[in-house]
Structure 1
Amino acid sequence: MLKKRQAELAKLENLPSPASVSDVTIDNFNEKINQSYQPLILKNFAADWEIVKKSQQSLALAAEYLKGFDHQQKLKLISLPEDTLGRLFYNHDLSGKNFTVKNSTLSDSIDLMLEKDNKTRYCLQSVSLKQNYPELIAQLPNKLLPNTQSFIWIGNKVTVPAHFDEANNIAVVAAGKRRFTLFQPEQIKNLYIGPLDFTPAGQPISLVNLRAPDLSQFPLYEQAYANALSVELEAGDAIYIPTPWWHHVESLSPFNVLINYWWSDNYVSSQLPFPMLIHALQAFKNMPIDQQQAWQSIMQHYLFNQDESAIAHIPKAAQGILGEQAKPVSHFIHQWLASQIK
């Protein structure tokens, strides 16, 4: 019975899809996208991109197109042995990673990806176009986020376990197909998140293998699955993923390319939430329980209280960080934090 249920939960194709949104413009972007706080599909978002057109003819054409922008600079190429099945993860006891990294040019990396008999899978992750391939940016027009930095992800059939981003994300499939499986932030309790300070690729990840979930080890995952969304996107399609929704990403084609854009509407976002979480753990985790509960009350009062009565007794001009964070206040707080966290 358990094996049968696990097999059912492995069928991500059976999950409902996020809603699709159309006729989005830079003028209604905030209303249609930014305010939704739900993942949204933008079909044919990049249908006019040259790489999309080439990939629809053949993946080999898309690969050659990208190689034309190579300046022979070295990138970090991830190599995943055959037994990993392309899943970026830890080794068996979470003491290391299940992949290696070496320096490689874009062209050499793509050539390795295209080798038909090679059992190793490869990927280039989150490569900044501005720093590495600025000429390519003009070939990838984004009418909704024209001034936002873009990043490119290239690889074979590779899976990135469920993780969250610290900023909103629009991810565009430029070649091949990808499946996105998404979980609300509150599903963290059912996703069995791994170590926070040692991760395969930056952000903390779920330890659950979504394509082979082990319910004896991760029984609560069934609840996460019951609340999940999943969609398979083709070249030219895009998905909006609000922060910090969990998302599991599968590259489904032998050769895949993704372009993504991260942005935040919070101008103080240079202080990213995740490092603050790590510092909070360091500050509070080893306190006696009564002190933890006391600080929980303080945090609830100041940080998570939507009732302005918490600060109504303080004149606006004196509210500082408790009030609206104007840029001078933000700059002062950054300096203060730097002096306190040593």
Structure 2
Amino acid sequence: MGTNQPDSLQQYALENLPPPTEVSGVTAANFAEKVTNHYRPVVLRGFAAHWPLVQAAKQALPEAAAYLTARSNNKPQKLVSLPAQTSGRLFYNNAINGMNFSASQQPLNTAIDTMLKSSAAGSPHYCVQCVPVADNFSALLPELNNPLLDPSPKPFIWLGTRVTVPAHFDEASNIAVVAAGKRRFTLFPPEQVANLYIGPLDLTPAGQPISMVNLQQPDLQAHPLYANAYQAGLSVELDAGDAIYIPSPWWHSVTSLSDFNVLVNYWWSNAYVASALPLPMLLHAIQAFNHMPLGERAAWQSMLQHYLFNPADPLAHIPAEARGVQGKLTPQLAQGLHQWLAAQLNR
């Protein structure tokens, strides 16, 4: 790094970024009008202030932990352990052929107890990620009501100490609720992908591609284009009870700022079947197109532009009822397409 790095760090401080818009008075009836139709992150302050878990957390973080352990099914979970020198940042090892953390199976309540005892300086950082509430906190499930969504999206819970998840995207829309502690969310529009220096698509800390940029200490010599991403960024600190809506595939990094943190989130998508998720299709497209001769590749670029990204209606010449999978995708059509794709890929 250059000698001006301290000035650079201040120049790119996340606290200096503008926050997402805060919206109040959101209901299921006006959720689309006020939030999702704008395709921007939105902060919902006090969204879950009435949850008993949030109320316990506002008394004290150990109270939130006790509230959870009393309602835990105590099934084994993967407890991620990050050495102190990582500063809790989930990332790759130095060779970028593995990760900078280890994991072990622990009963959930044991994992929570380990987190509570790890606040001393020099201690490892811990987290348990993406735990289905229905299977692991069944007694808690009725309390985590989300009035903006229908009952089908089931909540997941994330527990940990001071841990940072690098910028990544989700393949579904997301409402993330801070249930205990504080968290900072830093977000970038999807079109900033070229400025975020994305790591390997097939080797990731938790399944989704991540930015190689350390947002807390950006190295502008290694990642000079991050300066452009920063100018488009948003960042906000949320307290227990606050929530944020994150549209897919907005890039977002999440930093836990307290010794014990709890997040509850809900994902939902309009896709009928899992095969419609876009990341597997992107990986297959890379496999299909990257080794073509340039002329053939350019031809397929024209095809994709026409069928996927055409601002005009590329199907105007076909009656609506005859458009098949290019038209309105019913569950029956989606399932048939899924079976056809599976057969093609297994030839």
**Does residue 170 of structure 2 align to residue 165 of structure 1?**
yes
The amino acid that maps onto 2:254 is V
1:306-321 equivalent positions in 2, closer than 5 A: 306-308=311-313, 310-321=314-325
Match in the other structure for 2:89: 87
Which runs of 5 or more structure 2 residues have no equivalent in the other structure? none
TM-superposed deviation, 1:326: 2.3
| Correspondent of 1:101 among 94, 100, 103 | 103
Q: Classify the secondary structure of the residue corresponding to 2:35.
A: helix
The amino acid that maps onto 2:42 is L
> RMSD value over aligned CA atoms?
1.3
Q: Classify the secondary structure of the residue corresponding to 1:287.
A: coil
The amino acid that maps onto 2:55 is K
* Contact 1:70–1:105 (8 Å) recurs in 2: no
Residues 243-281 of structure 1 show CA distances to partners (whole Å, capped at 9, x for unaligned) of: 000001000000000000001134356520000000000
Residues 264-323 of structure 1 show CA distances to partners (whole Å, capped at 9, x for unaligned) of: 134356520000000000000011111110000011111111311x22222333211222
The amino acid that maps onto 1:151 is F
Match in the other structure for 2:65: 63
Residues 133-167 of structure 1 show CA distances to partners (whole Å, capped at 9, x for unaligned) of: 22211121111124121000000000000000000
**Does residue 301 of structure 2 align to residue 296 of structure 1?**
yes
TM-superposed deviation, 1:4: 4.0
* Contact 1:174–1:256 (8 Å) recurs in 2: yes
Residues 86-117 of structure 1 show CA distances to partners (whole Å, capped at 9, x for unaligned) of: 00000011011000110011211111111143
1:132-151 equivalent positions in 2, closer than 5 A: 132-147=136-151, 148-151=153-156
CA distance in 2, matches of 1:197, 1:321: 29
Which runs of 5 or more structure 1 residues have no equivalent in the other structure? none
* Contact 2:69–2:109 (8 Å) recurs in 1: yes
CA distance in 1, matches of 2:11, 2:105: 38
* Contact 2:273–2:338 (8 Å) recurs in 1: no
TM-superposed deviation, 1:10: 4.2
Q: Classify the secondary structure of the residue corresponding to 2:296.
A: helix
Q: Classify the secondary structure of the residue corresponding to 2:203.
A: coil
CA distance in 2, matches of 1:326, 1:68: 43
* Contact 1:2–1:215 (8 Å) recurs in 2: no
CA distance in 2, matches of 1:161, 1:169: 17
The amino acid that maps onto 1:233 is L
The amino acid that maps onto 1:167 is A
Match in the other structure for 1:29: 31
CA distance in 2, matches of 1:215, 1:330: 45
* Contact 1:9–1:222 (8 Å) recurs in 2: no
Residues 56-102 of structure 1 show CA distances to partners (whole Å, capped at 9, x for unaligned) of: 11001001100102223100110011111100000011011000110
Greater shift, 117-126 or 18-27, is seen at: 117-126
Match in the other structure for 1:257: 262
CA distance in 1, matches of 2:293, 2:252: 35
Give me the TM-score of the superposition, normalised by structure 2. Answer: 0.95
Match in the other structure for 1:285: 290
CA distance in 1, matches of 2:302, 2:202: 26
1:67-216 equivalent positions in 2, closer than 5 A: 67-115=69-117, 116-117=119-120, 119-147=123-151, 148-216=153-221
CA distance in 1, matches of 2:307, 2:59: 56
* Contact 2:71–2:138 (8 Å) recurs in 1: no
- How high is the sequence identity, in percent, across the aligned residues? 54
Match in the other structure for 1:226: 231
TM-superposed deviation, 1:327: 2.5
Q: Classify the secondary structure of the residue corresponding to 2:115.
A: helix
Match in the other structure for 1:13: 15
The amino acid that maps onto 1:152 is I
Q: Classify the secondary structure of the residue corresponding to 1:135.
A: coil
TM-superposed deviation, 1:49: 0.5
